A and B are shown apart, each in its own frame.
Chain A
Amino acid sequence: MRKSNIFLLGILIQGFLLLLLFVHATYTEKAAGPRLEEKREMVKRLELTDLCLFTEASYTRHLSQADLHTPFQSYPLSLEHFPSGSILQPPAMLKRTNGKLD
């Protein structure tokens, strides 16, 4: 078999698998409807505000409810030290810069 045929066959198979991913994604998305609805209903019923992704600290557990300076509350020079702090972005407000003072 010619090398070009083997290569093109390989690319075709990979392309077909890529297409299958889209089919799988569409199917899974549809099948997940009731599961998403259940979570949504729970959020509504329990009045939850956040995803349970980072449970290591209160302000990473409830990102949207945390004060804007919680990492510094332990003491003024307390730097953010929780690992998930390296994933999260600081709130936009903290990054706002004012005019130069000098």
Chain B
Amino acid sequence: MESWIERQRNILDFTLSSLLRRKGKNAALLSVYTLVVFMLASVVFFVHSIKKEASIILHDAPEMVVQRMVAGRHDPIPIRYMEKIKEIRGVSSVRGRLWGYYYDSVVGANYTLVVTENSQLAAGKIAIGVGISRTRLAFKGDTLEFRAYDGSIIHLEINNIISSASELVSSDLVLISEEDFRRLFGGSREHATDITLKVKNSKEIPTVALKIAELFPDARVILRDEILRTYDAVFNWRGGMMIVILAGALLAFIIFAWDKASGLSLEERREIGILKAIGWETSDVILMKFWEGLAVSLSSFLSGILLAYVHVFFTSSALFEPALKGWGVLYPDFKLVPFIDFSQIATLFFLTVVPYTVATIIPSWRAATIDPDSVMRA
């Protein structure tokens, strides 16, 4: 056993010396390889964590939301719809939600205004998310101006800044009283933005949804499951930018593998020829190439994973931020919870280390089985 270990170490020594002889080329290879693993791992970590966090946070989202559609657009829903919905067997509570968007031309940001049922907010007072506070430099006690639907200016005093811990859901929120909401947007008191409801038995949710759709043909019902599925689908691997990143990484690996599988350089072939001439066996040469592939891919893999973890969970995915932010002025400053598990690391390992290591062995085997004399003369 000891001699076997010693043999491996000797071959590894030789392999590392051989790699160091081509320092520049191998350093470039190592950097690109690390970068590819880093990008792939960053995407995997980010996507998995945000999906998991969304599923936890939105677990208590409304069981069912009923919207009214007019000419293909979401329209305020008459409050009288609630009476009929209440009568459906299995429905335990119904509430009309009031919410909407407000475009703040001062900073070019869209706010989400929400009226809360149990709000402690008096008329003239609002609570704002940290994103708005940061963008408008507005704090508790300050006043924000809003332009109402009729052109009048409404001054609302900031009563509270919503905790920064919940920024992922509240960054652009303005909590407002019903009275101020109606002053700002007008509209009839007989209408709400949409209706939310609770169902006693969760198994009855599809039946209740079907009944609502039958009762109100102009209604669109959104179930909690659909809300949760939305976030599962948003960052699906087939979606938009994900496929661009994955395709880029895949292409890079095809180039790596092609470079390796298409054969060795003249210098490498000569090296193998000399090794065979001085008594190395084919199996020794293959072992050397195996160590070479493993040394490059394993160090790149580990460095890439470590850097990706720091990128996603310590710098809040700084490289992805411009893409996620888009044209949005308000972007939540959030730190994802690192929901990582062994299967993610194993998937990345089999996607990156194994193909490269295998790709280095095949051409070496071909070179190692030919006559050393002809290799050295070539």
Q: Which residues of A contact B (CB under 8 A)?
A: 2-4, 7-8, 10-11, 14-15, 17-18, 21-22, 24-25, 28-29, 32, 35-36, 38-58, 60-65, 67, 69, 73, 82-89, 91-92
The answer to whether B332 and A53 have CB atoms under 8 Å apart is yes
Number of interface residues of B (CB under 8 A): 89
Known: A39-B165, A87-B241. A52 touches B173 (CB 8 A): yes
B280: which A residues are within 8 A, CB to CB? none
Q: Which of A39, A60, A64 is in CB contact (< 8 Å) with B166? A: A39
The answer to whether B227 and A61 have CB atoms under 8 Å apart is no
- A75 to B: closest C-beta gap in Å: 13
A45: which B residues are within 8 A, CB to CB? 116, 118
B23: which A residues are within 8 A, CB to CB? none
Residues facing A in B156-184 (CB within 8 A) are: 162-163, 165-173, 175
The answer to whether B222 and A14 have CB atoms under 8 Å apart is no
Report 10 cross-chain contacts, Cβ distance below 8 Å, ordered by A residue.
A11-B299, A15-B302, A52-B330, A53-B168, A53-B324, A54-B328, A55-B171, A63-B234, A64-B230, A67-B74
- A28 to B: closest C-beta gap in Å: 5
Which residue from chain A places its CB closest to the CB of B295 in the assembled complex?
Answer: A7
The answer to whether A47 and B337 have CB atoms under 8 Å apart is no
The answer to whether A18 and B306 have CB atoms under 8 Å apart is yes
Known: A3-B13, A43-B169, A47-B196. A61 touches B112 (CB 8 A): yes
The answer to whether A25 and B338 have CB atoms under 8 Å apart is yes
- B93 to A: closest C-beta gap in Å: 11
The interface residues of chain A, by DSSP majority, are classed as helix
Which residue from chain B places its CB closest to the CB of A3 in the assembled complex?
Answer: B16
The answer to whether B12 and A7 have CB atoms under 8 Å apart is yes
How many angstroms from the CA of A23 to the CA of B337 in the assembled complex?
Answer: 13
Q: Which residues of B contact A (CB under 8 A)?
A: 9-10, 12-13, 16-17, 20, 50, 53-54, 56-62, 65, 67, 69, 72-74, 95, 97, 101, 109-110, 112, 114, 116-118, 129, 131, 162-163, 165-173, 175, 194, 196, 220, 222, 226-227, 230-231, 233-236, 238-242, 295, 298-299, 302-303, 305-306, 309, 313, 323-332, 337-340, 342, 345
Q: Which of A24, A45, A51, A54 has the most CB of B within 10 A?
A: A51
Other CB < 8 Å A-B pairs besides A17-B306, A55-B328, 13 of them?
A: A22-B340, A25-B339, A40-B59, A42-B166, A44-B60, A52-B112, A52-B129, A52-B131, A52-B172, A55-B172, A61-B172, A63-B230, A64-B226
How many angstroms from the CA of A91 to the CA of B229 in the assembled complex?
Answer: 10
The answer to whether B234 and A88 have CB atoms under 8 Å apart is yes
B239: which A residues are within 8 A, CB to CB? 87-89
Q: Which of A3, A36, A41, A48 has the most CB of B within 10 A?
A: A48
The answer to whether A14 and B9 have CB atoms under 8 Å apart is no
Q: Which of A24, A43, A49, A58 has the most CB of B within 10 A?
A: A49
- B321 to A: closest C-beta gap in Å: 11
Which residue from chain A places its CB closest to the CB of B117 in the assembled complex?
Answer: A47
Known: A38-B165, A42-B170. A11 touches B305 (CB 8 A): no
- A3 to B: closest C-beta gap in Å: 4
Known: A11-B298, A36-B53. A85 touches B231 (CB 8 A): no
- B295 to A: closest C-beta gap in Å: 6
A56: which B residues are within 8 A, CB to CB? 110, 326-328
Which residue from chain B places its CB closest to the CB of A33 in the assembled complex?
Answer: B337
B97: which A residues are within 8 A, CB to CB? 47
A18: which B residues are within 8 A, CB to CB? 302, 305-306, 345
How many angstroms from the CA of A35 to the CA of B164 in the assembled complex?
Answer: 10
Known: A14-B303, A55-B331, A64-B226. A40 touches B56 (CB 8 A): yes
Q: Which of A11, A21, A86 has the most CB of B within 10 A?
A: A21
- B226 to A: closest C-beta gap in Å: 7
Q: Which of B20, B165, B239 has the most CB of A within 10 A?
A: B165
How many angstroms from the CA of A4 to the CA of B294 in the assembled complex?
Answer: 13
Known: A56-B110, A61-B110, A87-B241. A67 touches B116 (CB 8 A): no
